[in-house]
Every structure is written in structure tokens, then in C-alpha cells.
Amino acid sequence: MTAYLDHHATTPCADEVLDAMAPYWQQRFGNAASRGHRMGIEARRATETARGQVAAFVGASPKEVVFTSGATESNNLALLGMARAAMRAGRSAHVVTVATEHKAVLDPVAQLLREGAGATVLPVDGQGLVDPDDVAAALRDDTVLVSVMAVNNEIGVCQDLDAIGAVCGARGIPLHTDGAQAGWTGLDLGGTPVDLVSLSGHKIYGPKGVGALIVRRRRPALELEPLQYGGGHERGLRSGTLPVPLLVGMGAACELVASERSVQGPRLAALRDRLWARLDAVGGVSRNGAPGAPHNLNVSIEGVEAQALLVAVRDVVAMSTGSACSSATLTRSHVLVALGLSDEAVATSVRIGLGRSTTEEQVDEVADALVAKIDELRGLSHLYE
């Protein structure tokens, strides 16, 4: 059976999550906005239970959880919502972000530029880290939001949100983070000064099509322009009938990952390091990005074109060359380019994402297959001598 090592792209729905969702497709199918009968009240209670589970996942209050369709929508709501609210009030709007962000952040920033807002996209160092001093230098009087990803979806780098949050807080500027990949590292908003957090269900063993934006309560209150209108759901920030089964699933997934984090984190880190040791011994293999998330390993393999390697080992392992969104269009990884990697290093990079079901035996089998195919492909490649 093929080992699945592409957990950055998506994760399988956990059994516990499927079990929690099951009654809400047919037996308990009420609309959570229907408060005049038992079925609607029951659905409402289920959504509020899920809201509490999502809040606990990041140390927030249930009242700070706004359900969305996923982290992409959450990122859009945070960035477009903050900037458009300022512009609608007649103020100029400037946002700050980082070159290695997911396209779900960079593309909304590009849209804001088209709408007349300002933006600063900060560089990273060779390890993928942004300097908090660079963030401080980029802030302006009209800066309405800083957006810095918690855990990078390609190289697993964990940014220093404490330091960046302190910089933003000193100027009273909200900080947003895309926390979709932070399941195994965790986010604790009780200690980390972040004002908006994007989450995704399917990155943490929940269903696809559901996510959340955590909007912290603060003074002055954060002002966001909604992306859509029609019914005033989710405190007017995200109108639309709540998908009760999906919300229940996301809540269950948050509870599951939070309960397993202390065990799974170290276990996955050990498996990652075991695989890295085997690849490093081959020679000509370099690790991309500062060590961070325990489930992540991104490497460039000298003399081996990444796509050729993926095809060569596809019967043994499923992995990728980078973001699933970028892979869909076969574009070069903007993350690796931002690290200053050569064109050859980018073209020879693969991303390996471990998960709850990954075993030591699988890691050894994958390592054997990769080492064998690396030697074989190097023998055929004009890139390697």
C-alpha cells in the first residue's frame, strides 16, 4: 500500500470525526438558524459545542470564532475585510506580509493593491525566517494589518509570532496569522499576541469545506468588511446557512489533535529526523528552511528532478514538490525562490509531510525507495556528475 506523506495538502478524516458528524447528515439535520423547533435548537447547540472546541484549540473565547469554508476564505476575510473597512471609512490602508506566505494571503494582498491599498511584502533569510525588526521598519501610520504565517506549508518554518506580535502591539496594529499548518505545533492566544487566526478543518483530520477565523476581542474593536451578505450569520461577518455536520467535524478534529499533540509532536519529529538521516547519508541532499513543524521535511536532491522522482516512487509513497495550490499549475515554488535557492535547487526539491498514520516501518520503506531511485536517476541525469 502506498504510504501517504502529503499531509500538508490534506489529511484523512479521523474515525472519531466521522462518528461525530454522522448523526447530523440525516437524523439531526436541522438548520441552526431555526430556533422555533427542537430540530433547529438541537443543531444550534451542536454548532455552539463545535465553536467551543475550536476556541479551546487555540486558547480563544467561543465568541471569537467565526466559521468559514476554510483557511482561504478566512485569510481573505482578514486581509480584505480589514483593509476595505478602512477604505470605506475614507482612510488609506496599508498591509504588511511576507514573501513566503501561502497564495491565499499573497493573492488577496495583490487584489488590495488593485483596489488602491498599499502593501509591503517582506523578504526572509536563507532559513525562511522574517526579521521582526523588518516588520517594525515596514509599519506605517496607515498600516491596518500585518499577516505572518505561523507554520509555513512548504518548509515547516515557525515564525516568531511572539516577537512580531510585540512589535505590532506596540503600535496598536493588529496581527493576523494563517494557522492552517499549526496543528501539531499549537497556537496559544493566551500567551501569543495575535489578533486574527485562520484555521482549516481538513488540515487537522477534519472535513474539507470548513474553517474558521478567530477574531479577538480588543479595544478598539477590529473592524472587518464582510465578503458576503445575506442573513447576518456569524455576527454579520459571514452570512450563509451553517453546515452543521462540517462544523461538528471541525470541532471534533480540533479536540482530537489538541489531545494528541503532546504525543504525536515528538513522535513525528523522531520519524522526520529518521528519514532525514537516511537522505542526508546519500550525499548531495540539502534541507530547506529552519527546522520547525515536526511533520515537515523539505529537501533539494542534487541531480534529481523532483517530478521524475515523484513518478519513480509513486507506487511506494505519495508526496509533493510543494504547495498543492502551486502544484495544480506546475509553477515554481515561490517559497523556495524567496529563500534564495538556485533554479536547480528549486527544481529538485520535494516536500514530505508525515501524519498520525505514519509508522516507522513506512518511513524505512520510503527511505529505501528514495535512496534507490536517487542513485538510479542520478545515473541518468545530465544535472549530476
- Among the listed residues 244, 266, 248, the one whose alpha carbon sits nearest the alpha carbon of residue 256: 248
Decide the pairing of beta strands 285-287 and 296-301: antiparallel
Rounded Cα distance, 30 and 244, in Å: 8
- Among the listed residues 62, 74, 65, 49, the one whose alpha carbon sits nearest the alpha carbon of residue 214: 65
Report whether 245 contacts 25 (CB < 8 A). yes
Surface-to-core class of residue 33, CB atoms within 10 Å of its CB (0-12 exposed, 13-18 middle, 19+ buried): middle
- Active-site entry in 13, 168, 254, 325: 325
CA torsion, points 268, 360, 347, 72, in degrees to nearest 10? -40
Rounded Cα distance, 207 and 6, in Å: 16
Report whether 159 contacts 150 (CB < 8 A). yes
Surface-to-core class of residue 22, CB atoms within 10 Å of its CB (0-12 exposed, 13-18 middle, 19+ buried): middle
Q: Is 254 a catalytic residue?
A: no
CB under 8 Å to 305, separation ≥6 — which residues?
347, 348, 377, 381, 383
CA torsion, points 66, 67, 68, 74, in degrees to nearest 10? 40
Rounded Cα distance, 200 and 72, in Å: 8
Q: Is 236 left (phi over 0), alpha (psi -120 to 50) or beta?
A: left
Cite the active site residues. 325
